[in-house]
């Protein structure tokens, strides 16, 4: 069969090497849906079926699909100047305007500059290089280790996959790099000890970090990286006081704080940045996803003034940059996207819709025999499934693939959620523009799907 007589579905199966998919199975069977268009929170597939997208793609299409203002800005910029680079101090206007806007939105966090890339992973690679360069400039070449958290997700390049705390993403590639360590995440359902309140749980996790830094040698530890709310690792909002306790330890040992705001940045948690919502004082921030609502790939490292002073001090060329750094088309998309978020009051809407989502999930699933916990913050939420509820819950045998079966049952009913890796958890992170009634539909479908899997397991 030639390419001209094949359907896009056939070509996808035969020619596309899919990320985070089983290569042989995809080549043999193809995937569940080929999406051809989107509007608001609804996607349409090639076979005409529609899906409510409870995940905004991969936690990213914050202004919803098909927003004319963003689309028009992309078109305008493509006609005027689709691309020019930013090496050797060359500049284009859109990234300059965008960097200034981003710094304005960070408010009182002490930020100064933005280094642009095109994915969260490449931005976290840039973070690692910046931190290493920073300590080389300060004459501390041994201060290079980076501490991340188990279940953290920071991307998949060699350095960022090392920071990611999910063993499945290390095993095939001989990772993590030797400079990376991981500590316990603030995962209340499984890590909190009986009787431990938020303050005690936070203090214990901070003490663990302190002990690790001391054991490694504070003069060898450069930075700590954390998502404000661990997203792909389970949607884990930290206990009250967690970040202040962690940051006291980091300050004591002169260790930089990197806030990975790839999911939380630009409104997802009900403030412009997760750092604002959770009292984080980052030295460096990673941004991507919501900066353009994923209409065009764009990421960035936001550098604080005091780190910039060191990085800008040596007078030599900074030997790092991507062809697509400071991409003018991506920056134009970002400026339009951020204007939409501001004009439509979407950050405030996140809090209202998030409250509605969690309330409905709790009503529909909070007491369900399969549900161990409903959790979330802002417009991101999760439901975790357990074999036994109660004070000391028990996990399902992973081979039962409970969460994956529930997401499949949701998809069959016209709703897209995600089964998160290494946990029986499904997540919800819809567009900020979602209607309350659409949230009600999402939750009703989730309940039906959970019931159908519960019946099959009984």
Nearer to ligand PLP, 58 or 96 (CB): 58
Note whether 159 binds ligand PLP by CB under 6 A: no
Nearer to ligand PLP, 126 or 441 (CB): 126
Q: How far is the CB of 290 from ligand PLP (least distance, A)?
A: 11
User: Measured between alpha carbons, how far is 288 from 370 in angstroms, rounded to an integer?
Assistant: 34
Among 42, 77, 92, 119, binds ligand PLP (CB under 6 A): 119
Tokens of 199: 């303050």
Give the binding range for ligand PLP (CB under 6 A) out of 151-159, 173-181, 325-333, 419-427: 151-159
Among 121, 126, 247, 325, binds ligand PLP (CB under 6 A): 121
Q: How far is the CB of 226 from ligand PLP (least distance, A)?
A: 9
Note whether 125 binds ligand PLP by CB under 6 A: no
Nearest residue to ligand PLP, scored by beta-carbon proximity: 120
Dmax over Cα atoms in the chain, in whole Å? 68
Q: For residues 363 and 448, is the Cβ–Cβ distance under 8 A? A: no
Note whether 292 binds ligand PLP by CB under 6 A: no
Nearer to ligand PLP, 267 or 449 (CB): 267
Nearer to ligand PLP, 63 or 166 (CB): 166
Q: Is 109 left (phi over 0), alpha (psi -120 to 50) or beta?
A: alpha
Note whether 97 binds ligand PLP by CB under 6 A: no
Which 35-74 positions form the footprint of ligand PLP (CB under 6 A)? 58
Phi then psi for 154, rounded to 5 degrees? -125, 5
- Residue tagged 């997700």 (tokens): 153
Note whether 293 binds ligand PLP by CB under 6 A: no
Q: For residues 236 and 230, is the Cβ–Cβ distance under 8 A? A: yes
Mark 236-265 with x for binding to ligand PLP (rule: CB under 6 A) and - for no binding.
------------------------x-xx--
Nearer to ligand PLP, 54 or 370 (CB): 54
- State which H helix or E strand residue 225 sits in: strand 221-226
User: Measured between alpha carbons, how far is 115 from 119 in angstroms, rounded to an integer?
Assistant: 12
Neighbouring residues of 439: CB distance < 8 A, sequence distance ≥ 6: 353, 356, 357, 360, 430
Q: How far is the CB of 428 from ligand PLP (least distance, A)?
A: 15
Note whether 186 binds ligand PLP by CB under 6 A: no
Among 38, 57, 64, 120, binds ligand PLP (CB under 6 A): 120
Q: How far is the CB of 326 from ligand PLP (least distance, A)?
A: 17
Which 358-397 positions form the footprint of ligand PLP (CB under 6 A)? none
User: Measured between alpha carbons, how far is 377 from 396 in angstroms, rounded to an integer?
Assistant: 25
Nearer to ligand PLP, 95 or 228 (CB): 228
Tell me how far CA of residue 118 lies from CA of 192, 297, 326, 327, 376, in angstroms: 37, 5, 9, 8, 28
Note whether 419 binds ligand PLP by CB under 6 A: no
Nearer to ligand PLP, 243 or 453 (CB): 243
Q: Transcribe 79-93 into DSSP letters.
A: HH-S----GGG---H
| 38: helix, strand or coil | strand
> How many CA atoms, within 13 angstroms, populate the side-chain half-sphere of residue 312?
10
Tell me how far CA of residue 285 lies from CA of 112, 130, 135, 144, in angstroms: 11, 12, 18, 18
3-state helix, strand, coil in the chain (%, to 5): 45, 15, 40
Note whether 127 binds ligand PLP by CB under 6 A: no
Note whether 295 binds ligand PLP by CB under 6 A: no
Closest CA to 74 of 298, 249, 241, 237: 298
| 441: helix, strand or coil | helix
Give the binding range for ligand PLP (CB under 6 A) out of 41-49, 152-160, 316-324, 407-415: 152-160
Q: How far is the CB of 3 from ligand PLP (least distance, A)?
A: 29
Note whether 444 binds ligand PLP by CB under 6 A: no
Q: How far is the CB of 297 from ligand PLP (least distance, A)?
A: 7
Nearer to ligand PLP, 58 or 359 (CB): 58
Give the binding range for ligand PLP (CB under 6 A) out of 115-123, 249-257, 307-315, 353-361: 115-123
- State which H helix or E strand residue 211 sits in: helix 198-216
Note whether 153 binds ligand PLP by CB under 6 A: yes
- Tell me the site size for ligand PLP, rule CB under 6 A: 15
Which 220-239 positions form the footprint of ligand PLP (CB under 6 A)? 227, 231-232
Note whether 283 binds ligand PLP by CB under 6 A: no
Note whether 274 binds ligand PLP by CB under 6 A: no
Q: Transcribe 112-152 into DSSP letters.
A: EEEEEESSHHHHHHHHHHHHHHHHHHTT-TT--EEEEETT-
| 420: helix, strand or coil | coil
Q: Where are the alpha helices (DSSP H) in 378-435?
A: 402-412
Contact positions toward ligand PLP, by CB under 6 A?
A: 58, 119-121, 124, 153-155, 227, 231-232, 260, 262-263, 288
């Amino acid at each position: 069969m030639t390419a001209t007589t094949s359907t896009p579905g056939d070509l996808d199966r035969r020619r596309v090497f899919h990320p985070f998919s089983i290569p042989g199975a995809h080549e043999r069977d193809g995937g569940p849906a080929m999406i051809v268009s989107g509007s608001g929170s609804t996607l349409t597939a090639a076979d005409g079926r529609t899906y409510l997208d409870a995940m905004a793609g991969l936690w990213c299409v914050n202004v919803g699909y098909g927003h004319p203002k963003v689309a028009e800005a992309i078109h305008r910029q493509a006609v005027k100047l689709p691309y020019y680079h930013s090496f050797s101090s060359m500049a284009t206007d859109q990234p300059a305007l965008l960097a200034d806007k981003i710094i304005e939105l960070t408010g009182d966090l002490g930020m100064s500059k933005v280094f642009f890339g095109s994915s969260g992973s490449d931005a976290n690679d840039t973070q690692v290089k910046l931190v290493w360069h920073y300590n080389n400039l300060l004459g501390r070449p041994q201060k290079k280790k980076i501490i991340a958290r188990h279940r953290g997700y920071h991307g998949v390049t060699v350095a960022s996959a090392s920071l990611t705390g999910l063993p499945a993403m290390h095993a095939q590639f001989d990772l993590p790099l030797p400079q990376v360590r991981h500590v316990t995440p603030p995962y209340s359902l499984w890590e909190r000890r009986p009787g431990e309140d938020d303050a005690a749980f936070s203090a214990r996790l901070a003490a663990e970090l302190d002990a690790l830094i001391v054991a490694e040698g504070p003069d060898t530890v450069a930075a700590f990286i954390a998502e404000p709310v661990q997203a792909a690792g389970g949607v884990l909002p930290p206990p009250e006081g967690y970040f202040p306790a962690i940051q006291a330890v980091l300050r004591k040992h002169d260790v930089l704080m990197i806030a990975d705001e790839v999911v939380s940045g630009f409104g997802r948690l009900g403030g412009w940045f997760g750092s604002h919502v959770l009292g984080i004082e980052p030295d460096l921030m990673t941004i991507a996803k919501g900066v353009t609502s994923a209409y065009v790939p764009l990421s960035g490292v936001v550098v604080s003034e005091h780190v910039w002073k060191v990085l800008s001090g040596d007078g030599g060329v900074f030997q790092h940059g991507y062809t697509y750094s400071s991409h003018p088309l991506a920056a134009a998309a970002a400026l339009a996207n951020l204007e939409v978020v501001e004009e439509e009051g979407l950050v405030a809407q996140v809090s209202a819709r998030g409250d509605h989502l969690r309330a409905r999930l709790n009503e529909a699933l909070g007491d369900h025999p399969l549900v161990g916990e409903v959790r979330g913050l802002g417009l991101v939420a999760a439901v975790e499934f357990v074999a036994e509820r109660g004070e000391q819950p028990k996990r399902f045998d992973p081979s039962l693939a409970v969460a994956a079966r529930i997401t499949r049952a949701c998809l069959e009913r016209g709703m897209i959620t995600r089964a998160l890796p290494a946990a029986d958890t499904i997540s919800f992170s819809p567009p900020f523009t979602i209607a309350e009634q659409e949230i009600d539909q999402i939750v009703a479908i989730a309940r039906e799907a959970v019931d159908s899997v519960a019946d099959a397991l009984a």
